[in-house]
């Protein structure tokens, strides 16, 4: 059970009688629970999707690259990167199957990772403390698709990713 607060005085102390709602020690009023429940998390997700139009409605934040930049990023993704599109099953937070699309690159040296971040204009950079590896990843669907479309002439992995995305979209449309 999460922390509770009194509705009247805001006191945090708890008196928890058996099979009753907790009451305030000072004023005797019922307390309200603070924190997040599963219901409130789902409600926040619904409100966010209504406000933002869902994650798929947001435009890509990836910058438009020049031809040389596209070739460099595409070749780097081909050599040291990973491009994935997979179908995720239903779970407690999502009512239907969904598609997860992303790109990632791992390196021991930070300079090429920083260059990828600068050229694409999107994604995150993280460092694994145990292995010392730096990783750039673009996990937003629209960003990953935009980068894949721009750099696909220079990478087989990205061409296969775009084909997989088309197959996943067609299979989800037929379901």
Report the alpha-carbon distance of residue 35 to residue 3 in Å, rounded.
7
Q: 36 with 65, same domain?
A: no
Q: 166 with 87, same domain?
A: yes
Task: State pTM to two decimals.
Answer: 0.64
Q: What pLDDT, on the 0 to 100 scale, is given for residue 46? A: 65
Q: What pLDDT, on the 0 to 100 scale, is given for residue 1? A: 44
Q: 45 with 67, same domain?
A: no
Q: 18 with 66, same domain?
A: no
Q: What pLDDT, on the 0 to 100 scale, is given for residue 59? A: 80
Instruction: Write out the two tokens for 154.
Output: 């220079």
- Structural domain of 9: 4-52
Q: 105 with 168, same domain?
A: yes
Total structural domains in the chain?
A: 2
Cβ atoms of 135 and 144 within 8 Å: the answer is no
Q: What pLDDT, on the 0 to 100 scale, is given for residue 13? A: 55
Q: 78 with 163, same domain?
A: yes
Q: 107 with 67, same domain?
A: yes
pLDDT, tens digit, 9 for 90 and up, residues 109-141: 999 999 999 999 999 999 998 999 999 999 988
Residues of the chain where predicted confidence (pLDDT) is lower than 50? 1-2, 17-19, 34, 36-39, 55-56
Bridge partners (DSSP) of residue 32 are 5
Q: What pLDDT, on the 0 to 100 scale, is given for residue 116? A: 95
Give the CATH number of the domain where residue 70 resides: 3.10.28.10
DSSP track, 44-101: HHHHHHHHH--GGGSPP-PPPPPHHHHHHHHHHHHHHEEEEEEEEPP-SS-SS-EEEE
């Amino acid at each position: 059970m999460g922390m509770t607060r009194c509705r009247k005085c805001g006191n945090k102390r708890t008196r928890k009688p058996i099979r009753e709602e907790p009451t305030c020690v000072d004023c005797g009023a019922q307390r309200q629970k603070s924190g997040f429940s599963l219901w409130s998390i789902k409600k926040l997700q619904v409100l966010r999707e209504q406000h933002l139009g869902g994650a798929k409605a947001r435009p890509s934040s990836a910058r438009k690259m020049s031809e040389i930049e596209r070739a460099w990023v595409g070749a780097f993704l081909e050599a040291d990167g990973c491009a994935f599109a997979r179908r995720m099953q239903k779970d407690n937070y999502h009512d239907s199957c969904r598609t997860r699309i992303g790109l990632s690159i791992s390196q021991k040296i930070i300079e090429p990772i920083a260059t990828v971040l600068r050229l694409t204009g999107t994604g995150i950079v993280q460092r694994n403390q145990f292995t010392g590896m730096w990783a750039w990843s673009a996990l937003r669907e629209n960003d990953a698709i935009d980068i894949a479309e721009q750099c696909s002439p220079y990478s087989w992995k990205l061409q296969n990713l775009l084909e997989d995305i088309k197959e996943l979209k067609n299979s989800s449309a037929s379901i």
